Amino acid sequence: MRYLTLSWSTSRGRDTYGYSIRRLDDTTTDKRYRCSGGGYDMTGTVLGDWLADVYQSELQALAPRAGAWYSKAGGYRTNPDRLNGLYGLSINEDTGTASIDGACGIRSVEMIAAAIGIGFRATVNRRGHAIGYLVTHREESAAA
């Protein structure tokens, strides 16, 4: 099983001093994903970045259900099928890459992950704040 740890810190950079920093560390690969700022879903952002990095080919297969598509020739187009579209998932038609806008919310990221068979089980501290996620796969859940 894969475990993702979450942590907060505060920037001490010259132009970003005092900004919040959200980090996600993948304990399997030792890769770190981070974002800074505030006023949006920072947890969704780092989780979406991780998902897009680790499961790129699976996300590309969801292209027909993406919430939006982009190409230089056609510009930015949204999915007219609001019921089946995956809000927050975008496909760059020029490169074929998928990206996730985690600022759309943690629930949108979880729905995109569920579409490829990935689930997250949060671990929380005494205050009820998420400090990490246990990543589950549909195949593993069925075998258990």
Specify the pLDDT at position 116: 97
Structure tokens at 84: 């089946």
Residues of the chain with pLDDT under 50: 141-143
Give the per-residue pLDDT at 138. Answer: 80
Return the bridge partners of 2, or none.
135
| Structure confidence at residue 140 (pLDDT) | 56
- pLDDT for position 83: 83
Which pLDDT value is given to residue 37? 86
pTM (predicted TM-score): 0.89
Tally of domains in the chain: 1
Over residues 81-117, the pLDDT tens digits come to 888 899 999 999 999 999 999 999 999 999 999 999 9
**How far is it, in rounded angstroms, from Cα 108 to Cα 93?**
21
Q: Which domain holds residue 68?
A: 2-143
With 0-12 / 13-18 / 19 or more C-beta atoms within 10 angstroms meaning exposed / middle / buried, residue 142 is exposed
| Residue of 65, 67, 11, 5 lying closest to 37 (CA atoms) | 11
Q: What is the pLDDT of residue 89?
A: 97
pLDDT number for residue 12: 84
